[in-house]
């Protein structure tokens, strides 16, 4: 399991909030999988497959734990990736997880969890407005056509 420095997690947090310089830092410091993790959280299936194929199992489990997958959370705990499990729990509304991370001097994971949570809400807001609904309808039509074409 790859361990990330506090600096790497801070850059991941800033990237999650839209900071281009942090994107560049993550790329330059061989932390591309963190960038891809955000894509997977945002429901990019190819990103999740990449995490699995490249054996970034903790990050893949983190993504699933964010979406209330109990088995993924158990995997994180067995792998002793407590910081990732707690961050996922913060996103899912567990105040105790935030207190745990603060007590363990891992507040950078608290900030990451809140940044991801904010991004999820932002994405959700974009999808429920009139423009987002129209885009979703068009994407559905494209997906339906692609599935139809693949059947033949």
Contact 101, 107 (CB under 8 A): yes
17: burial class by Cβ within 10 Å (0-12, 13-18, 19+)?
middle
pLDDT in tens, 105-120: 999 999 999 999 999 9
CA pair distance 77, 58, nearest whole angstrom: 10
53-103 pLDDT, tens digit each: 999 999 999 999 999 899 999 999 999 999 999 999 999 999 899 999 999
What pLDDT shows up at residue 133? Answer: 45
CB atoms within 10 A of CB 43: 12
Interatomic CA distance for residues 131 and 135, integer angstroms: 6
**For residue 137, what pLDDT band results from cuts at 50, 70 and 90?**
very low
Q: In this predicted structure, what is the pLDDT of residue 134?
A: 47
- Confidence band, pLDDT 50/70/90 cuts, at residue 138: low
- pTM value is 0.81
The confidence score (pLDDT) of residue 49 equals 97
């Amino acid at each position: 399991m790859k361990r990330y420095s506090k600096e790497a997690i801070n850059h991941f947090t800033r990237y999650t909030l839209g900071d281009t310089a942090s994107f560049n830092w993550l790329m330059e410091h061989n932390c591309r999988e963190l960038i891809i993790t955000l894509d997977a959280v945002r429901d990019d299936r190819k990103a999740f497959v990449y995490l699995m194929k490249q054996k970034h199992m903790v990050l893949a489990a983190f993504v699933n734990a964010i979406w209330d997958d109990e088995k993924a959370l158990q995997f994180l705990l067995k792998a002793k990736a407590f910081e990732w499990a707690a961050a996922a729990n913060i996103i899912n509304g567990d105040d105790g997880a935030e207190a745990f991370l603060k007590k363990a001097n891992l507040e950078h994971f608290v900030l990451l969890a809140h940044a991801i949570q904010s991004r999820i809400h932002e994405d959700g807001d974009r999808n429920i407005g009139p423009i987002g609904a129209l885009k979703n309808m068009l994407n559905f039509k494209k997906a339906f056509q692609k599935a139809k074409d693949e059947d033949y």
